[in-house]
Amino acid sequence: QKEVEQNSGPLSVPEGAIASLNCTYSDRGSQSFFWYRQYSGKSPELIMSIYSNGDKEDGRFTAQLNKASQYVSLLIRDSQPSDSATYLCAVAPNAGGTSYGKLTFGQGTILTVHP
């Protein structure tokens, strides 16, 4: 079982629709969760961080965390062609130990928003 799993896609949605990206993780002790966006040929860009169960909204983006189900998601409302990119889910472990501060990434979900 992979530590962080994402559906690789591609996920294709029409412009203006809601894109829903999902991620599951195996370490029940994980405490911090991040979503990065990566355009082709570029480096990952942080778009959301979430630490507590529930929803966190920032503009068109909403991150949702359910630690009991070990599940984190990202919703993109009113999707635009410029949102077309790979979305990476990253999970940070419990504090302490040699892996402190390490981010474990999923393989990413490719999102395509078509006009």
Partner 1 sequence: ETGVTQSPTHLIKTRGQQVTLRCSSQSGHNTVSWYQQALGQGPQFIFQYYREEENGRGNFPPRFSGLQFPNYSSELNVNALELDDSALYLCASSLVAGSSYEQYFGPGTRLTVT
Q: Is 94 helix (H, G, I), strand (E, B) or coil?
A: coil
Amino acid at 86: T
- Residues 28-57, interacting with partner 1 (CB under 8 A): 31-32, 34, 36, 42-46, 49, 51
26 scored as a contact of partner 1 (CB under 8 A): no
Q: Are strands 71-76 and 61-66 parallel, antiparallel or unpaired?
A: antiparallel
CB 82 within 8 A of CB 53: no
Residue 17 C-beta: closest distance to partner 1, Å = 25
Which position among 53, 57, 100, 114 is part of the footprint of partner 1 (CB under 8 A)?
A: 100
70, HSE (Cβ side, Cα atoms, 13 Å): 14
Residue 15 C-beta: closest distance to partner 1, Å = 26
Which positions touch partner 1 (CB under 8 A)? 4, 31-32, 34, 36, 42-46, 49, 51, 88, 90, 92-95, 97-108
